[in-house]
Amino acid sequence: MANNVTETLIGAVVLAVAGSFLYYASQLSGFSTDTNQYSLSASFRSVSGLNVGSDVKLSGVKVGTLTSITLDPVTYQAVTKVSIDNDVQIPDDAEIKVSTDGLLGGAFLEVTAGGSPFMLEPGGEFVYTQGAVSLLNLLLKFGGGSDE
């Protein structure tokens, strides 16, 4: 009888741990149904290094999460959707760009606020974007001795 109680308790602990991992994974992947956020989109030439779940930062503070990356078949640009916290309003002339934490750090989206008094509405789109910059291409350009 004591053996059955022990097995039941261990099974309950395993289920609780599995449930917490599922909750954490849903929050990290952007599949959560968080109603305290609104969605914006942006198109980039390159989103190298970004993944769904990457941070969106404004002045170094996380204000949102990258929720999807798709390819526009007409323009061949990467179309991204981000979720921004409701308490953060973004001016409609803000710039969003792909940045990295140092040379070996992970990529994230960095928002630079503009000076417009008008804010992006939920479902709006960033007009000013800058894609990922390849460090290898920069080194080849400056180190290759090309006069282009």
Helix (H, G, I), strand (E, B), or coil: what is residue 38?
Answer: strand
Which residue's entry shows tokens 């008008």?
A: 118
* The model scores a pTM over 0.75: no
| The pLDDT value given to residue 1 | 63
Q: How many CA atoms lie within 13 A of 83 on its CB side?
A: 17
Question: What per-residue confidence (pLDDT) applies to 3?
Answer: 77
User: Burial code of 55-85, b = ≥16 C-beta within 10 A, e = fewer?
Assistant: bbbbeeeebbbbbeeeeeeeeebbbbbbbbb
Q: How confident is the model at residue 143 (pLDDT cuts 50, 70, 90)?
A: confident
Residue with tokens 């009888």: 1
Per domain, the residue ranges of the chain are 1-33, 35-141
